[in-house]
Amino acid sequence: MGFAPGTRIGPFIIDARIGAGGMGEVYRATDSRLKRQVAIKVLPPLFAADADRLARLHRDAVLLAALIHPPLAAMSGLEDADGVKALVMELVEGIDLAERIASGPIPFDEALLIAKQIAEALEAAHERGIIHRDLKPANIKVRPDGAVKVLDFGLAKLGDDEAASRSQPGAAAVLPTITSPAMLSAVGMVLGTAAYMSPEQARGYPADKRADIWAFGVVVFEMLSGRRLFTGDTISDTLASVLKTEPDWHLLPSTLDTRLRALLRWCLEKDPKRRLRDIGDARVQIDNLLAGRADEDAPHLSAPIAPTWKRVLPWTAAGVLAVAVAAMLVLWAPRRTASAVPPFRLSTRIGADASVVFTPVDALSISPHGDVIAFVAQNAPGAAALLYVRRLTQVQATPLAGTDDAESPFFSADGQWIGYFARGMLKKVAVTGGASVALCEAPIPRGGSWDGNDSIVLLPNRTGGLVRVSAAGGTPEPVTSILLGNEELTHRWPQVLPGGKGVLFTTGSRTANATGYNDGTILAQSPSGARTVVVRGGYHGQYLPTGHVVYIHDGTLFAQPFDLDRLEPDGPAVPVLEGVISNAGTASAQFSISADGTLVYLPGPSIAGPAVPIHWMRQDGKTTPLRATRAAWDNLQFAPAGDRLAMQITDRQSDIWVYDLARDLITPVTADPADDTVPVWTPDGRQLAFASTRGGRKIANLYLQLADGTGGAERLTESPNAQRPSSWHPGGRYLAFEEVVPPGQSDVMILPMGGDVGSGGKPGKPTPFVNSAAHERQPAFSPDGRWLAFVSDQSRRDEVYVRPFPGPGGQSQISASGGMFPTWSRTRHEIFYSSGTATGAGSRQFMVVSYAVVEGSFRAQKPILWSTAPHQTRGPQRMFDLHPDGMRFAVAPLDDAEIARNVDHVSVFFNFFDELRRLAPRSR
């Protein structure tokens, strides 16, 4: 049905069709009586002929006409003339929000102003018991002056209808919703509406005001991302996406305020019982953001939005401290037999003129008694990270001198000591300060746990199981061993279970996909060595006195009821807290829970896994896409001509791939059913050396294959030790590589090729180039072949050094405060390396050192920061390479959780155990 210009409907003269809305066609018309222009929506005959629906619409129209609020397009009447039924509404000039989003993401400040007005419109309607039920960008107009009007309450319904629909079976089916597609005429309109339906609407269940809150979250998400959140080729596909697909939070701007990100998560809870209940709360939070109020002046949105009685707490700095002190006086009272206050949470400043350093390892821990937080922080970018302690009854935190480069703190069982990792060692320091005590070597900080016998369980090196060492220091003894038949990765983030019941830890599989430790396994091992699976699909488990194991999956804290005596699960796992900063690549997580039920955590996003795109990064820190497709790649290396990029990609197994930059085409080089890793181009760009576990071996040796993937792979070495290629001499006669020598240290080795690569000469016998008692690796030849750079921890910290090749001669230290992955420029006398101090979650910065050769001696200048922008790191894997032009890097882009941020707040959840028992009751 359509109406030509000039058609009269009662006193209204049609001027032009301006679109289709819910339940009808919309026209611009002139009111001949009042000489004004209006918008009228002509209802389809099917609707107009239904007496029950028309009566309901008439009743709702009366109420909507009385609903006067600036962001709402006013309804002025329901016209019935010449057999045509039409709604008469305010005519709103401007573009609709769908058109605005189609041109790209909306800037943050503009999006906030629009979101505020949408929230105000919904709030006004909800206060009158009216629910929109069809909120979408096409129903929101933005006038030229920036004012927003929410349109099309034609699908709106009264809250009372919800009660009727619950009490009358099938009542929901007759309501004018998208579940009656005959009501609508355009397929595109149907799909658009379906994309904004709440999960309960998609299932055909009754919808209340929380359905509008869901749609509000979808609309705001799309404003900020410029992308449709839920899509599908058909209505069914779109509804399935709403029901099953989780939002891709990576689509949001990386600089988005964490409070708004948390608000969106709360609006987009699929379970309406866990969703934000009042749109007014969203409007208040947006007001706070627009006003630039600091966290201490407004509720902190990284945690779930609190009920009204909690929101009215005085959120000034003094008020927060007063609440914390009052809570602690009650919660920590001796011989407390019952919870004196209900569970509540607050956000508080860490109390130091510094920022928390949330690297790929843990950054904070709370003491067993819940009265002290230990955390790692730095007071300036590039400064050494120190341990700080903060008593929650005090305002200020105290740095502990002598704890430079600290990582992964944890408390002793009595709360008097803090264990931590620094410069390749496990150390301890008293909570009150003093000298740090080195206990044993531990080059990889993946957590420690103090038991009641004053010993510590930890992961000592990059491979293998857990060990136990006396808290007084000594020789570590094995606790767990890697089960090679299961292809396990390292055992990490241990917790000694109470009562000598055993140890809890996280492991992963070498065949895990790109989600990292989100596919990890949490195991419990008894003192006899027997193991049970506690969790599949999670990491960083912690047993609690409530009889639960809490763990992380995709940034959410889950609780698994657990029988300590049988070391077995005791009921289904449930989510208990969203938005915990965590890293699925290393299985680290920024939370800690005391024995009395106080939870501390850093709120924010999660690094979901190792699958990332590749970007260019220039010195100004700006990045642009190089390869947009996400993959679980590592160990990039440009071909000598700079036209191709070799990498390893892991998907069940690791293989070597080559990406052609000009053609945007990636092709496999290897396909053997083994792990092929760490590609290194030959100087002529024809072949790649790589490490491989071919032949059913668990240990990788060196191979060589044509870069186009043709021909077979030539074996270069045969050794019982694991090897990784690193750099070719520019003449092609030598390959520098690293070899792991038991009990876990690496040496820099040189493999002579018996002639230029490709000449047919047989590889000679590898010889050590650097094989001290230290851990040496990552060798890199200079462009002229006269020097070899490498990394060594001989100073108890990874530093970059240079030696003449083939020697003799002494070495020059290049880095000043730690460094990894030395990289020579081919166009200037410069060496780049990755900084030794982390700047954020899984990120470091590029340093550059100019050098000269004076009378045969290597003279290095002072290291300087090449760019203030951070780059992603992932343990021993090289996540970048310098293009041969010396001007730009290929890097992994950083999401919110990886960018260095000024994290100066911590969230504290008091009486968390009471909340846990409510959300995850045990079966017995």
The span from the CA of 477 to the CA of 332, in Å, is: 37
- The residues, any chain, with a CB within 8 Å of residue 444's CB and separated by 6 or more, are 459, 460, 461, 462, 490, 875
What would the 3-class secondary structure string for 447-500 be?
CEEECCCCEEEECCCCCCCCEEEECCCCCCEECCCCCHHHCECCCEEEEEEHHH
Residue found under tokens 């983030």: 493
Give yes or no: 134 in active site: yes
For residue 294 the two structure tokens come to 């600091």
Side-chain-facing half-sphere of 546: CA atoms under 13 Å: 25
CB burial string 251-270: b at 16+ within 10 A, e below: ebbeebebbbbbbbbbbbbb
Find the catalytic residue in 31, 60, 134, 895. Answer: 134
Helix axes 279-291, 209-225, angle to 10 degrees: 30
Q: Which residues contact 602 (CB under 8 A, 6 or more apart)?
A: 356, 358, 363, 364, 580, 581, 590, 591, 903, 906, 907
| Residues 507, 529 contacting (CB under 8 angstroms) | no
* Number of Cβ atoms within 10 Å of the Cβ of 291: 9
- The structure tokens 């206060």 sit at 127
Task: Give me the amino acid identity at 78.
Answer: L
CA within 13 Å, CB half, 247 = 27
**DSSP states of 370-385 as a string?**
SSEEEEEEESSTTSPP
Please, what's the b/e burial string for 154-175 (b: 16 or more CB within 10 A of its CB; e: otherwise)? bbbbbeebbeebeeeeeebeeb
The helix/strand/coil state of 808 is coil
271 contacts 232 by C-beta, under 8 angstroms: no
Q: What would the two tokens of residue 184 be?
A: 């609508």
Other C-beta atoms closer than 10 Å to the C-beta of 470 total 15
Q: How far apart are the first and last CA of the chain?
A: 64
CA 492/CA 588 separation, integer angstroms = 9
Return phi, psi of residue 290, to 5°.
Answer: -65, -35
What stretch of H or E contains 243?
A: helix 235-244
In the 3-class helix/strand/coil scheme, how is 322-342 assigned residue by residue?
HHHHHHHHHHCCCCCCCCCCC
Which residues, including other chains, have CB under 8 Å from residue 759's CB and lie 6 or more apart? none
Q: Cβ(367)–Cβ(594) under 8 Å?
A: yes
Fill in the DSSP letter of residue 619.
T
Dist CA 628 CA 644 (whole Å): 16
Cβ atoms 254, 204 nearer than 8 A: no
Distance between CA 703 and CA 99 in Å, rounded?
55
d(CA 892, CA 889): 10
**Nearest by Cα to 409 from 393, 384, 434, 386:** 386
DSSP codes of every residue in 4-19: -TT-EETTEEEEEEEE
Interatomic CA distance for residues 131 and 196, integer angstroms: 14
Sign of the torsion formed by the C-alpha atoms of 644, 646, 650 and 653: positive
Asked whether 491 and 507 are in contact (CB, 8 A), the reply is: yes
Q: Smallest Cα–Cα separation from 428: which of 785, 808, 277, 437? A: 437
Tell me the C-alpha distance between 719 and 738, whole Å. Answer: 12
Annotated active-site positions, please? Answer: 134
